[in-house]
Structure formats: structure tokens, C-alpha cells
A and B are shown apart, each in its own frame.
Chain A
Amino acid sequence: MDSTLLVELSRAQFALTALYHWLFVPLTLGLSFIIAIMESLYVKTGDETWKKITKFWMGLFAINFAIGLATGIILEFEFGTNWSNYSWIVGDIFGAPLAIEGIMAFFMESTFFAVMFFGWDKVSKKVHLLSTWLVAIGSNLSALWILVANGWMQHPVGMEFNLNTARFEMKNFFDVLFNPNAISKFLHTVSSGYVMGALFVVGISAWYLLKKRDILFAKRSIIVAASFGLLASVFLTLTGDESAHQVALTQPTKLAAMEGLYDGKSRAGIVAIGQLNTDKKIGDGQKEFIWSIEIPYALSFLGFRNINAFVPGIDDLVLGNPTLSIEPAQSKIDKGKVAIASLKTYKEAMRENDNTKATIAFQSFRENQSFLGYGYLNDPAKIIPPVGITFYSFHIMVGLGSWFLALFFFVLYFSMVGKIETKPLLLKLAFLSIPLGYVAGEAGWIVAEVGRQPWAIQSMLPVGIATSSIDPISIMITLGLFATIFTGLLIAEIKIMLKQVSIGPEGEAHV
């Protein structure tokens, strides 16, 4: 058992729990708003069919919510056990957002959740509708605080490292909250949830139409969900563009991996589809792709809003590019090692009460602190994330997102002209697209998290230093336990959902 195994097991466990957690969250985010829209139509029109539609989807929402409830708490357990160095270092930054998230989730979701499910005949229509909207808004605001924390890891701002406490301390809450990386990540993530919710409703409704049952229910559900899904898909595209722009500005190695770009260039194109050359190594001059189809100028434009912009490749970022003033990774590693040595000297000087030595070490640390994380790397090539998984995940996500946009458009169009029932192929594709929504969402998170390796905190703390010195066997045991528990939960969700779907809206399938 070596430390590499410990780090890899800790990462695998975190990845497993995060990926399972994300199977439940997006449907909550998206379906909550679709239900609120459906209930608004009920309150506005007084049509009991809308009430029945709302109650049916609310039942499925409740199943997903209940099964997914607290799956995210496991990630917090892992912080304290597997990632204790990281947990200590970021405690001051994460404390506020996560505390707000906890309070908000408890008060908004829990309180209004009860009114939403128990209050149909006990409160007025408007109070009930308000509760439904507040559950939707509360769920989405909970996501905000988690994604603010994640955005900070991707692009740490509004903080300063305290050499005495070994913690990043928040200097400006609003810099952390309005971190451009966090905002674009939040908007892109929740809009992917909206698309997932819409795919779910459209797909299940399509199944009813294929089975020629509950026709009015299915057609009305499709119109609401496809409209919502189409708007959400457009929003998803725009937020994805902004998210990629932020990556270009703050995480150039991730952008290079997303595009498999080794040799940086001006007027760089985006690879629409392609097969990576797996023999390609840094600086070897080999071609990057076996084959590819490229959209000219698009990467420069989307990354930097300028078709002439230079997009640095992996070779530039590792080896440096003096012409364009791109610093070699080795130079950053050297500065990082100075930062680490200065921190050590500072602590020794404080113990010896040598103020002069402490002041010099403190200044030296501050001058090099932006490179602190690089000091833990022994090889410049280590700054590059796994290219294959990042590239393919990114392209799967984008490809599926494009498909969903087209799907919603055609489903909505044929619904509006009254021909949706005569399009069995489209209905089958809609049904089959439900799991693809989950694939796209998970692929997005793989891009975000694998693409920022080796960092737990961008440029500040690599994953190898963030972990605890614990027995890898205990991680193996809990990894197995998690895989079992979460798979069990997933099977339970699917079985209960399928049963409720087969009962259908006529069976009053609410909770």
C-alpha cells in the first residue's frame, strides 16, 4: 500500500459518491419547476386535469427526493476522514456557504415540502401554489451554495492563506459568492437539471402515448415539459459557453485537455468530433488526432471572444512559450517549492521567536503563494489532467446537449400541430433519451472534476497533499459499502418509479 494508492482510492470513493448523488439531484432541480408550472396552470384555469397532472408528477418528484435525500452528506463525511488536510485548509471558506445551504435546505424545502404534499385540501390554492414554487426555488438555492464552494475550488478568490493556522481565510464574502467561475457553474449546472427534468417528463409521457393510454395527460405534460426543456436547453448552451470562457481564463490546462490541444495556436478551431491519438506525448510533435472534424476559429472565439486569440496547448503550458510569455511549469514548481520552504522557515522562526527571520520568510511566502500547489509536484507533466477521459466526456456532454435541444424542438413542434401521436419514432427516441440525460450530466461533472486534476484547489493544493494518512483498506471497505448502498437505493428508486408510472395518473399515484 503506498500513498498513490491511498490518493487514488480516496478519489475513487469521492467520485463514486458524487456520481451517485448526481443521479438524484438534477431531477429534483428540474422537476420541481415543471410541477410548479403545471400547478400554476391548474390555479389559473381551474381545470382539474391540470391538478391530476401536477399530483402525478409530484408523486414521482417525491420518490426521487426521498431516495436521494442525504446522499450528499456522505461527501461531507469523506471530507473529514479521507481529506482532512483539505478539509482543515478550506474550513473557513466552506463554512459559510455550507451552513447557509443547510439552513436554507432545512427551512425552505422541509417546511414547504409538507404543505406541498399534505396541504392540497387544507390550504388555499394560492398558498399551495406558493409552497410548490418555494420548494423549487429552495432546492435550486441549495445548489447555489454547494456550487459556490465548488467554484471556489476551481478558481480560489476572496481569500488569503494564514501561515499560522494553515487555513484559507475569507477576506471578501461577495468575491467568493460572485466568483465568475461559481456563477457560471451554478447556472450551467441547474440548467442541466432543468433539461433532465424535462427529458424525464417528455420521455415518460411519450411512453404513455406509445402505449395509447392517458392521452390527454401525456399530451399536456409533453407541451409543458418540451417548452420548458427547449428554453432550458438554450439557456444551457449559453451558460455552457460562459462556463467554457471561464475555464479558458482560469484553467487553461483543463481547456487544453477538453479539446485535446497540445500545440497551441491562434485562430484555433473546436474539434466537433474526433479520435485522439493515444500515442501522443508532450512535445513529441506527433499529430493529436487519428481523425477529426473541426469548426474553424471556434475555440479562439468561444474561449476568448476573439477569433485571433491564441489558445495555449498542453505543450505550451508544460514546456512554456517565451514568445507568448507563457511560463513553463518547471518555473512554477520552483516558485512553489520556495513557498513551501518559506512556510517551513516561518514556522521555525515563530517557534524560535526570531521576528526578523519570520518577516523575511513571510514576505517570501507571499511573493510565491500563488504557486504553492506546484511545489508539491515533481514532474511538470503532472499539471495536465487525463486528456482522454476529459476530451471524450466533454464531447459526449456537448453532443447529447445538442441532441436534447433538437429533440425538444421537434417534440414541441409536433405537439403544437397536433401530430405528436403519429410520430412513434420520435416518441421512442424521447423515451430512450431519459438515461442519456443522466449520461450527459455525469459527463459534465467528469469534465469539471477530472479536468481540474491534479488540483483539489486550483494551483494551491494538489489531491496528493489534500488526503489524510489513513489505512487504504478502510477506504476499500467503505467504497464497497457505498457501491452496495447506493446501487440498492437506485434499484429501489427505479422499481418504485416504474410501479407508479405503470399505475399512471388515473390511479392517483401521489404520495
Chain B
Amino acid sequence: MNMIKRIVLFYSDGFKQMKVGKTLWLIIAIKFFLFFILLKLFFFHDVLQTNFSNDTDRANFVIKNLTNP
């Protein structure tokens, strides 16, 4: 318990004392929102995962592309 408390305090003190770090964390948060919410959800769906339900169908689709260029 004491160890967990020390680890929590270690991080919380560190975050409290940050100067430029606060700006950097804000940039990281905005970036993660843009990457993982905006881009990933709306633009970057995994074509094979989305269009096919199992690996056999995915393999057959890719082989079709390879053999009918």
C-alpha cells in the first residue's frame, strides 16, 4: 500500500511541477483525439476487417486480387 501511495505521489508531484509539460500534454491530447477519433473512426477503417467476417474470406479476396490483376 505504501509503495502504491509513493508511486501515485511520484506521478502526481511530477505532473504538478510541470511547466512546458502541461502544454505538451495538451498537444498530445489534441493529437490523440485527431488520430484515434477523427481519422481512425471516420477515414481509416481496416478494409479487410470491415468487409469480411473471417480470415478465409479475406484470404480468398486477396488471392482474387493477386490472380486477377
- B32 contact set on A, CB distance < 8 A: 70
CA distance A474 to B39 in the complex (A): 11
Are B20 and A509 touching (Cβ within 8 A)? Answer: yes
A158 interface hit (Cβ, 8 Å)? no
In chain B, what residue has the closest Cβ to A87? B48
Report yes or no: A78 in contact with B44, Cβ–Cβ below 8 A: yes
A367 CB to nearest chain B CB (Å): 17
Most buried by A among B18, B28, B67: B67
Shortest 7 CB-CB contacts between residues of A and residues of B:
A118-B14, A80-B46, A66-B24, A511-B21, A344-B67, A77-B44, A84-B47
CA distance A122 to B7 in the complex (A): 11
A114 to B23, CA, bound (A): 17
List B contacts of A81 (CB < 8 A): 43-47
Q: Is the interface of B mostly helix, strand, loop or mixed?
A: helix
- Could you mark each residue 64-75 of chain A with 1 if its beta carbon is under 8 Å from any beta carbon of chain B, else 0? 001101100110
Contacts of B46 in A (CB 8 A): 80-81, 84
Q: What 1/0 mask marks residues of chain B from 1 to 42 whose CB sits below 8 Å from any chain A CB?
A: 000000000110111011111011101100110110001100
Pick from B21, B23, B34, B66: contact of A85, CB below 8 A: B66
In the complex, chain B residues 43-69 whose Cβ is within 8 Å of any chain A Cβ? 43-49, 55, 58-59, 62-63, 65-69
Q: Is the C-beta of A320 less than 8 angstroms from some C-beta in chain B?
A: no
Enumerate chain B residues within 8 angstroms of A59, measured Cβ to Cβ. 20
Size class of the contact patch on chain A: 35 or more
Tell me the minimal C-beta distance from B60 to chain A in angstroms. Answer: 8
A166 within 8 A of B: yes
Given contacts A73-B35, A340-B67, contact A80 B44 (CB under 8 A): yes
**Chain A residues in contact with chain B, CB under 8 A?**
59, 62-63, 66-67, 69-70, 73-74, 77-78, 80-81, 84-85, 87-89, 114, 117-119, 122, 164-167, 340, 343-344, 347, 375-376, 464-465, 468, 470, 474, 477-478, 481, 485, 489, 492, 496, 500, 509-511
**A residues near B48, Cβ cutoff 8 Å:** 80, 84, 87-88
Q: A80-B49, A118-B13, A166-B62 are in contact. Are A62 and B44 (CB under 8 A)?
A: no
Are A77 and B24 in contact, with the CB atoms below 8 A? no
Q: Name the distance in Å between B35's Cβ and chain A's nearest Cβ.
A: 6
Q: How far is the CB of B28 from chain A (nearest CB, A)?
A: 6
Decide: A489 and B43 in contact? CB cutoff 8 A.
no
A18 CB to closest chain B CB, in angstroms? Answer: 15
Please report the C-alpha to C-alpha distance between residue A376 and residue B21 in the assembled complex, in whole angstroms. Answer: 51
| Shortest beta-carbon distance from B2 to chain A in Å | 15
Q: Assess the A85–B65 pair: CB atoms within 8 A.
A: yes
Residues of B within 8 A of A165 (CB): 55, 59
B14 touches A474 (CB 8 A): no
Q: Which residues of B contact A66 (CB under 8 A)?
A: 21, 24-25, 27-28
Report how far A470 CA is from B11 CA in the complex, Å.
Answer: 45
| Nearest B-chain residue to A341, judged by Cβ | B67
Do A340 and B55 touch across chains, with their CB atoms under 8 A apart? no
B15 (CB) vs chain A CBs: closest residue? A118
17 contacts between A and B (CB under 8 A): A59-B20, A66-B21, A69-B28, A69-B31, A70-B32, A73-B35, A77-B35, A80-B46, A114-B10, A117-B14, A118-B14, A165-B59, A343-B66, A344-B68, A375-B69, A376-B69, A465-B66
Q: Given the known A-B contacts A87-B48, A492-B27, are A465 and B69 also in contact in the complex, defined by CB atoms under 8 Å?
A: yes
The residue of chain A having its C-beta at the shortest distance from the C-beta of B21 within the complex is A511
Chain B residues lying within 8 Å of A67, measured Cβ to Cβ, are: 24, 27
Cβ contact of B31, chosen from A63, A70, A478, cutoff 8 A: A70
Instruction: For A122, list chain B residues within 8 Å (CB).
Output: 10, 13
Shortest distance in angstroms between B32's beta carbon and chain A's nearest beta carbon?
Answer: 7
Question: Could you tell me if B67 and A62 are in contact, using CB atoms closer than 8 angstroms?
Answer: no
* Chain B residues closer than 8 Å to A166, beta-carbon distance: 59, 62-63, 66
Query: How close is A92's CB to chain B, nearest CB, in angstroms?
Result: 11
- Establish whether residues A114 and B11, one from each chain, have CB atoms under 8 Å apart when the complex forms: yes
Give the distance in Å from the alpha carbon of A104 to the alpha carbon of B24 in the complex. Answer: 23
Q: Which residues of B contact A118 (CB under 8 A)?
A: 10-11, 13-15, 17
User: Please, how many angstroms separate the alpha-carbon atoms of A503 and B33 in the complex?
Assistant: 31
Contact present for A500 and B20 (CB under 8 Å): yes
> Given A85-B66, A88-B48 in contact, is the A485-B20 Cβ separation under 8 Å?
no
